[in-house]
Amino acid sequence: MAWNKGPIVWEENNALCISVVFTWDLPVARGIILSNPNRQCIVGGPAVRLLPRYLDNMANIETIVPSIKPMYRYNREASRTTLGCPNSCNFCGVRRIEGEYKELDDWEPQPILCDSNFLACSDSHFNKVIDKLKVANFPSVDFNQALEAKLLIRKRARRLSEINITPRFSWDRNEEESYVFNALSLMEEVGIKRSKIKAIYSIVGYNETPSEALYRMEALRSRGYLGFAMRYQPLDSLKKNSYDPPQWGTQELKDFCRYWNKQRWFGGITYDEYRSRVNAKEQLSLFSGDTNG
């Protein structure tokens, strides 16, 4: 089932409830509140926890517990078994959004799990989750937020192979390379085919040069894996893709993400060839007076 986009809005107990995941959707939520001046508005979600003052004096912030969890409204096939993450990555807002790491007891098995760091859980919780998912027997299980490669060990890889998993991993810093490829090797050793691994997510544009980001993408492709370039978004961004890292050119970062995330289109040429074609097209547009590209 596809994810609903933008803020989720519903009515409950005579109030207008709004859930906002991304900070750049907060202006949309603000517009919804302004267009309902005579309604009690209750707003929550990750974006509100990151920027709680943005909607000051406009709405109540999470003053009631909804009867249906907002995640279910975003996607009826989504659930989670833990909250938080023990890491403190500077580019990530999970600690501020979800608090200390916590294993949940009252979760429902679903084919999409949105744990921020599932592999950080205890063995007891891990095995309970796998057992429940085995009983549910979903055709595919997707840990949507990716698994931390550093935490994957053989016995857990074996158990993950019991639930028709379509794995995702993350690789955000070049020094994590050995952990990433070790985890990918473990997946293959336990019988999870390379073709079933959805993607390896990689934050790009955060305190790194283009060549450092390119190294990760090329290393993955050279071994037959698909890297997905996730453009870094500051935690207080009110407009998506508005941040231009100092080490990158604005167009270069845009081209980088487009090339690597559209490999079905551009996989037949190298990144350098792609950039050359883009630059040639830009120059042709300038000479022809075509400012629309």
**DSSP character string of 20-52:** --SGGGHHHHHHHHHT-TTSEEEEESHHHHHST
Angle at the Cα of 227 from the Cα atoms of 222 and 231, rounded to 5 degrees? 140
Confidence of residue 21 (pLDDT cuts 50, 70, 90): very high
Distance, in Å, from the CA atom of 229 to the CA atom of 217, rounded to the nearest integer, reads 8
Distance, in Å, from the CA atom of 170 to the CA atom of 151, rounded to the nearest integer, reads 12
Distance, in Å, from the CA atom of 163 to the CA atom of 118, rounded to the nearest integer, reads 15
Tell me the mean pLDDT in the region 185-199.
92
Confidence of residue 35 (pLDDT cuts 50, 70, 90): very high
Cα 143 to its chain centre, rounded Å, is: 11
C-alpha dihedral (79, 85, 89, 94), degrees to nearest 10: 50
pLDDT at 136 over 70: yes
Burial 62-87 (b: 16+ CB within 10 A, else e): beeebeeebbebbbeebbbbbbbbee
Is there a contact between 105 and 77 (Cβ–Cβ < 8 Å)?
no
pLDDT at 26 over 60: yes
Distance, in Å, from the CA atom of 275 to the CA atom of 256, rounded to the nearest integer, reads 8
Burial 150-174 (b: 16+ CB within 10 A, else e): ebbeeebbebbbebbbbbbbbbbee
pLDDT at 283 over 90: no
**Sequence letter at residue 108:** E
Largest distance between two CA atoms of the chain: 66
pLDDT of residue 282: 61
- Residue 41 tokens read as 């508005």
pLDDT at 63 over 70: no
Nearest to 163 by CA among 106, 102, 227, 110: 110
Cα 238 to its chain centre, rounded Å, is: 17
pLDDT at 289 over 80: no
Confidence of residue 237 (pLDDT cuts 50, 70, 90): very high
Distance, in Å, from the CA atom of 286 to the CA atom of 152, rounded to the nearest integer, reads 51
pLDDT at 94 over 80: yes
Regarding predicted confidence, which is higher, 62 or 277?
A: 277
Distance, in Å, from the CA atom of 183 to the CA atom of 189, rounded to the nearest integer, reads 10
Domains of the chain listed by start with CATH number: 8-61 (no CATH), 70-287 (3.80.30)
Is there a contact between 59 and 43 (Cβ–Cβ < 8 Å)?
yes
Query: Residue 45: left if φ>0, alpha if ψ -120 to 50, beta else—which one?
Result: left
